[in-house]
Amino acid sequence: MPDVDVDVDVVVVGAGPAGSAAAMVLARAGRSVLLVERGPFPGSKNMYGGVVYPRILDKLLPGWWEEAPIQRWVVRRATMLATETQALTVDYRTQAWAAPPYNGATAYRPDFDAWLASKAEADGAQLLCFTTVTGLLRDVSGAVTGVRTDRPDGDIRARLVIACDGVNAFLAKEAGLAGPTDPSHYTLGVKETLALPKHVIDERFGVRGREGVDIEMVGCTGGIPGGGFLYTNLETVSIGVVLKLPALAAQSRRPEDVIAGVKAHPAIAPLVDGGELKEYSAHLIPEAGWSMIPELAGDGILVAGDAAGLCLAAGIWLEGVNYAIASGMLAAEAAVHALSRSDTSAEGLAGYRRRLEEVFVLRDHRKLRRVPSLVLGDRVQRQYPTLACNVVERLFRVDNPDPKPGLARIARDEVRRAGVRVRDLAADAWAAARSFG
């Protein structure tokens, strides 16, 4: 471990995407910054792979795609409504996403996070690994003045702390910015990484070279509110589920049993057949969106990334890394401004929230604030996949010698069969229109 300068302008806690982006901006502004990571290297505590949307890096790291450690560029995005035996999929593909500036990519988070942290180091940030922040330092007025660690040399003093310590948000809670944990605000993401030869993945998913596929699923979790996913990497696929925490705890099945059900689904089984299990991992995801965002600034402290609940789980949009990077960058900009004025009070740091409101970070969360409860509701999870699949099945089914029924009649019949009340269907349609429209 390197020698530590115990008096720095800013301590950034957590070397994930939010923390590394914050450290990069601070270092470039000439501020002394210490980036503290509890793992042996940045990304070591993160899940193996997933989809990232790194376009937010365009200005911070121009041409990032030439060196970022990505697996595949996503050129196909599919959303699947599933029952036990049916699947209705909206499958979109575009070659525009196969060339710069790209749209999304699959990546192994240990690789991606370590690369991003190395960029902060190159700009002058000091990275300190194998170090767990155990609490906050405060002055007599209660303002945050640094952090306590588990290192033998102990405390690290700083003019400002940026808490990017992940979904549990320990520092935000200690600072009084976040309330007690509400389990209903979280899901558990559980994933298996399965090895398959590259040519097999290419053939099964209809891609070539570095092209990749992202499939999101609803209705595949056996009645537990949540969803499923399947991503292609170069020589592995990532398959898993996201399960609402209280509902998971209220029943007896284990998450790996739910994943086994997804892998056995007739629409998925041919894609993952023969895959060799390489890794099983799980982590909490802040899914409540707008309703769980804490106070973002206090005296001597800012909160960013998952610690701020900035993860967008809105049905057709499942994004987190881009919101983390953006919040880290904007927290650093607010910090630079506050430090230049020697005012790191909550009032002096209030520009952070204003910055978030001016860009996509809080605009998206506010606009889509109704979506998490809608998507995780019983009708979207259970009734609508059955309804949609049955409507399409009847539409395509040939029932000679009976004449073909009209679509309106099919829809009326299946709405009745699914037990969906028209007023509930209308209310959900209105909520979706207000959110996505």
- Measured in whole angstroms, how far is the alpha carbon of residue 342 from the centre of its chain? 34
Q: Which residues contact 434 (CB under 8 A, 6 or more apart)?
A: 370
- Measured in whole angstroms, how far is the alpha carbon of residue 36 from the centre of its chain? 22
To which H or E segment does residue 240 belong?
strand 236-244
Evaluate the CA torsion angle 187, 221, 44, 123 in order and state its sign: negative
Return the closest-CA partner of residue 288 out of 259, 321, 237, 246. Answer: 246
Looking at residue 2, what is its pLDDT?
A: 47
Give me the phi and psi of 319, to 5 degrees please.
-135, 145
To which H or E segment does residue 156 belong?
strand 156-163
To which H or E segment does residue 3 belong?
none
Q: Indicate the DSSP class of residue 275.
A: P
**Amino acid identity at 273:** D
Evaluate the CA torsion angle 333, 337, 340, 343 in order and state its sign: negative
Q: Residue 70 is encoded by which pair of tokens?
A: 């990505």
Distance CA 265, CA 385 (A): 14
Give me the phi and psi of 294, to 5 degrees please.
-80, 180
Distance CA 155, CA 174 (A): 16
Return the closest-CA partner of residue 200 out of 233, 228, 229, 230. Answer: 233
Distance CA 22, CA 45 (A): 19
Distance CA 107, CA 68 (A): 9
To which H or E segment does residue 115 belong?
helix 109-122
Looking at residue 153, what is its pLDDT?
A: 81
Looking at residue 49, what is its pLDDT?
A: 67
Burial (CB count within 10 angstroms: exposed 0-12, middle 13-18, buried 19+), residue 22: buried
Q: Residue 30 is encoded by which pair of tokens?
A: 């000439």
Looking at residue 5, what is its pLDDT?
A: 44
Looking at residue 1, what is its pLDDT?
A: 44
Return the closest-CA partner of residue 196 out of 240, 159, 239. Answer: 239
Looking at residue 47, what is its pLDDT?
A: 66
156-163 and 144-149 as β-strands: parallel, antiparallel, unpaired? antiparallel
Per-residue pLDDT of the chain (437 residues; tens, 9 = 90+): 444 445 899 999 999 999 999 999 999 999 999 999 999 999 887 765 689 999 999 989 999 999 999 999 999 999 999 999 999 999 999 999 999 989 999 999 999 999 999 999 999 999 999 999 999 999 999 999 999 999 988 899 999 999 999 999 999 999 999 999 899 999 999 999 999 999 999 999 999 999 999 999 999 999 999 999 999 999 999 999 999 999 999 999 999 999 999 999 999 999 999 999 999 999 999 988 999 999 999 999 999 999 999 998 877 788 999 999 999 999 999 999 999 999 999 999 999 999 999 999 999 999 999 999 899 999 999 999 999 999 999 999 999 999 999 999 999 999 999 999 999 999 999 999 998 88
Helices (H), 206-278: 245-249, 255-264, 269-272
- pTM of the full structure: 0.94
Looking at residue 48, what is its pLDDT?
A: 59
3-state secondary structure of 31: coil
Distance CA 280, CA 230 (A): 14
**Amino acid identity at 278:** K
